[in-house]
Amino acid sequence: GRLLGDRYEIVEKIGGGGMALVYKAKCKLLNRYVAIKVLRTEFINNEEFINKFRRESQAAASLSHPNIVNIYDVGVEGDIYYIVMEYVKGKTLKELIREKGRLSYEETIDIAIQIARALSHAHKNHIVHRDIKPHNILVSDDGRIKVTDFGIAKAATTSTVTNTSNVIGSVHYFSPEQARGGYTNEKSDIYSLGIVMYEMVTGRVPFEGDSPISVAIKHIQEDIVTPRQFVKTIPESLEKIILKCVEKDQSLRYDSAEELLKDLEKAKELKDGSYVEINNY
Ligand code: ATP
Ligand code: MG
Ligand code: MG
3-class secondary structure for the chain? Answer: CCHHHHHEEEEEEEEECCCEEEEEEEECCCCEEEEEEEECHHHCCCHHHHHHHHHHHHHHHCCCCCCECCEEEEEEECCEEEEEEECCCEEEHHHHHHHHCCCCHHHHHHHHHHHHHHHHHHHHCCEECCCCCHHHEEEECCCCEEECCCCCCEECCCCEECCHHHCHHHHHHCCHHHHCCCEECHHHHHHHHHHHHHHHHHCCCCCCCCCHHHHHHHHHHCCCCCHHHHCCCCCHHHHHHHHHHCCCCHHHCCCCHHHHHHHHHHHHHHCCCHHHHHCCC
Dist CA 205 CA 132 (whole Å)? 13
Q: Is 87 in the pocket of ligand 1 (CB under 6 A)?
A: yes
Interval 43-85: pLDDT, tens: 888 888 888 888 888 888 899 999 999 999 998 998 899 999 9
Residues 213-223, mean pLDDT to the nearest whole number: 96
Task: Please confirm, yes or no, whether 189 is among the known catalytic residues.
Answer: no
Atom of ligand 1 nearest to the CA of 95: 20
Q: What percent of the chain is modeled with pLDDT above 90?
A: 71
Q: What is the pLDDT of residue 17?
A: 78
Q: What is the pLDDT of residue 167?
A: 45
Q: Indicate if the pLDDT at residue 163 is higher than 50.
A: no
Which residue from 138, 162, 196 has its CB within 8 A of the most atoms of ligand 1, so it is best to mutate?
Answer: 138
Residue 182: pLDDT band by 50, 70, 90 thresholds?
A: confident
ipTM score of complex? 0.95
* Contact present, 200 and 98 (Cβ < 8 Å): no
Distance 21 CA to ligand 2 centre (A): 10
Q: What is the pLDDT of residue 134?
A: 97
pTM over 0.80: yes
Ligand positioned closest to the Cα atom of 83: 1
Q: Indicate if the pLDDT at residue 16 is higher than 90.
A: no
Residue 239: pLDDT band by 50, 70, 90 thresholds?
A: very high
Q: What is the pLDDT of residue 164?
A: 43
* Contact present, 165 and 87 (Cβ < 8 Å): no
Q: Is 113 in the pocket of ligand 1 (CB under 6 A)?
A: no
Ligand positioned closest to the Cα atom of 129: 3
